[in-house]
């Protein structure tokens, strides 16, 4: 057991945890930030994607102690002052979700993707989503949501 | 999925990691964790100590000089894929890094971890062997031909730490991968390099360990066209056979990927 300190969604946190606690359990069970989901045992589904120091990572595939001193952003930290993030807005407007289980990971992946590649075509979006699995939508509307969000965020109207 | 308990130690330097590994009863190095943590979650691995070398500045660099691309073991797949220097010197290497797994895996996974792990279907081993790279460790330098010794096994000794892989810049190279659509690992991948000394053809995914194809190398040294290797068949004996594809299927794929690589590097 050790006290781990990091910044989560802009707030400093210091919590005692076991060395073997995965970041995803630390967020969900110790911080009660249950927006980050667990969808698999094999690092393949992407439901657990969060940003650590500005990069999308699978929070089921790192330990909380490794995030000591880091800046962590989860789905709960995206909306500002009651206003959804443009990617969240775009998912709502384009029916980018059905059951919503994969959505937090999809959105965190999308935000990271748009930051790295502001100009996105549908083919690139599909490749960038290789680490995120959705059992419901057939991906079509997820791709449309991200395409729309990228346009909105670059200031262009679609 | 909870791992067995272990002690976590963050190394301050390679020398510190060496000392921490020596002091641990059954220590393991932790780099990107994209293979090791998954194995620990499945309880296939239960190290007493994890010595974290991720983020060590000393290990994360990319230098291109004197005809060699030298990459620190801690460079992530993302960093190698995004490096304009690597893209200029050996475009096939930057491309290879850009198609490993998915973006989140590439943000964490490292060159050193991939090479040390020597997964039969991993991408980097094909580039290391195909480009005749040298693996540098905290103790010595190892030639690629002597490094990959079998399925998940390498010439690395107990606690030995890869610090760098240096890739000689070829005249031309190509990596052609037929990915498993579910896992993204290679069903068969061929890394082909043309240098002034000849041609090297390295195959990953198809067998228990990355291997070269001397018959193709000899044929391509005489005439560098896809037709030059059209008649060469890879024996299916000993190749991987699983629910994703039979050994015969993989043997055929190697030929197809090799011809594509020749076409690209011509
Ligand atoms: C969903 C998913 C998809 C993937 N797809 C692919 C793919 O398409 N192609 C592919 O090639 N790989 C793929 N991978 C594996 C990925 O590339 C890993 O990052 C890589 O195999 C291991 O690197 P790592 O830095 O994560 O190592 P770790 O998991 O931290 O370590 C792996 C092993 O290497 C040892 N090690 C680490 N660094 C060193 C060092 N410097 N010196 C000596 N030993 C060391 C560790 O002790 C451990 O035994 C995938 C992984 C996931 C989760
Ligand atoms: S829960 Fe992390 S990838 Fe599936
Ligand atoms: S919306 Fe149900 S899993 Fe994606």
Residue ranges per structural domain of chain B: 7-52, 60-265
**In A, which residues are within 8 Å of B103 by CB distance?**
56, 109, 112-113, 128, 130-131
- What are the tens digits of pLDDT across the range B13-58? 999 999 999 999 999 999 999 999 999 999 999 999 999 999 899 9
Cβ contact B193:B173 at 8 Å: yes
Q: Could you tell me the distance, in angstroms and rounded to a whole number, from the CA of residue A111 to the centre of ligand 1?
A: 25
- What are the tens digits of pLDDT across the range B110-144? 999 999 999 999 999 999 999 999 999 999 999 99
B103 to chain A: closest CA residue: A128
Cβ contact B116:B153 at 8 Å: no
Q: Provide the pLDDT for residue A156.
A: 56
CATH fold label, B7-52: 3.30.43
Residue with tokens 């590097």: B265
B231-B237-B240 Cα angle (round to 5): 105
Q: What is the DSSP string of B228-252?
A: GGTT-----TT---BTTB-HHHHHH
Q: Which ligand is nearest to the CA of A102?
A: 3
Alpha helices in chain B (DSSP H): 14-23, 36-41, 77-82, 84-89, 91-98, 103-108, 111-117, 124-130, 144-147, 214-222, 247-265
CATH 3.10.20.30 fits A2-77, yes or no: yes
Alpha helices in A61-102 (DSSP H): 86-93
Whole-model pTM over 0.90: yes
**Ligand 3 atom with the shortest distance to the CA of A106:** 4
For A37, which DSSP code?
-
Residue ranges per structural domain of chain A: 2-77, 86-153
Token representation of residue B192: 């082909």
Token representation of residue B171: 């005249």
Which CATH code of 1.10.1370.30, 3.20.20.10, 3.30.70.1350, 1.10.150.120 fits the domain covering A86-153? 1.10.150.120
CATH fold label, B60-265: 3.30.465
Residue A152 three-state SS: helix
The pick from B9, B10, B31 for probing ligand 1's pocket by mutation, whose C-beta has the most ligand atoms within 8 angstroms, reads B31
Of the candidates A140, A147, A141, A134, the one whose C-alpha atom is nearest the C-alpha of residue A47 is: A134
Q: So what's the ipTM on this one?
A: 0.96
To the nearest 10 degrees (0 to 180), the angle between helices A140-153 and A103-116 is 40
**Ligand 2 atom with the shortest distance to the CA of A49:** 2
Q: Provide the pLDDT for residue A152.
A: 94
Q: Is the CB of B35 under 6 A from ligand 1?
A: yes
């Amino acid at each position: 057991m050790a006290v781990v300190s990091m910044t989560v969604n802009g707030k400093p946190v210091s919590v005692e945890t076991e060395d073997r606690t995965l970041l995803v359990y630390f967020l969900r069970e110790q911080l009660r930030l249950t927006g980050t989901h667990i969808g698999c045992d094999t690092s393949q589904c992407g439901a657990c994607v969060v940003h650590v120091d500005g990069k999308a990572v699978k929070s089921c595939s790192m330990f909380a102690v490794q995030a000591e001193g880091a800046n962590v952003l989860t789905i709960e930290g995206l909306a500002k002052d009651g206003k959804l993030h443009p990617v969240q807005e775009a998912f709502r407007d384009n029916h980018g979700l059905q059951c919503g289980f994969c959505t937090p990971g999809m959105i965190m992946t999308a935000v990271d993707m748009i930051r790295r590649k502001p100009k996105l075509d549908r083919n690139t979006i599909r490749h960038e989503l290789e680490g995120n699995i959705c059992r419901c939508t057939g991906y079509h509307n997820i791709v449309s949501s991200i395409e729309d969000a990228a346009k909105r965020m670059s200031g262009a109207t679609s | 999925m909870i791992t067995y308990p272990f002690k976590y130690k963050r190394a301050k330097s390679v020398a510190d990691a060496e000392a921490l590994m020596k002091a641990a009863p059954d220590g393991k190095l932790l780099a990107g964790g994209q293979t090791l943590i998954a194995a620990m979650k499945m309880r296939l691995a239960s190290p007493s100590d994890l010595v974290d070398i991720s983020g060590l500045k000393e290990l994360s660099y990319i230098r291109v000089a004197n005809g060699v691309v030298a990459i620190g073991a801690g460079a992530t797949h993302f960093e190698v894929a995004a490096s304009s220097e690597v893209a200029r010197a050996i475009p096939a290497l930057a491309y290879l890094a850009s198609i490993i797994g998915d973006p989140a895996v590439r943000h964490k996974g490292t060159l050193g971890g991939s090479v040390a792990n020597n997964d039969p279907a991993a991408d980097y081993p094909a580039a290391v062997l195909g480009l005749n790279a040298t693996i540098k460790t905290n103790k010595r330098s190892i030639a690629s031909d002597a490094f990959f010794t079998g399925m998940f096994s390498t010439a690395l000794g107990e606690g030995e730490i890869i610090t760098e892989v240096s890739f000689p810049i070829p005249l031309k190279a190509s990596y052609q991968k037929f990915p498993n659509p579910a896992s993204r690992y290679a069903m068969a991948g061929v890394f082909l390099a043309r240098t002034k000394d000849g041609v090297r053809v390295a195959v990953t995914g198809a067998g228990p360990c990355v291997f070269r194809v001397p018959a193709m190398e000899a044929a391509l040294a005489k005439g560098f066209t896809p037709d030059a290797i059209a008649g060469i068949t890879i024996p299916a004996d000993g190749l991987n056979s699983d629910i994703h594809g039979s050994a015969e299927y993989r043997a055929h794929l190697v030929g197809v990927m090799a011809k594509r690589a020749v076409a690209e590097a011509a």
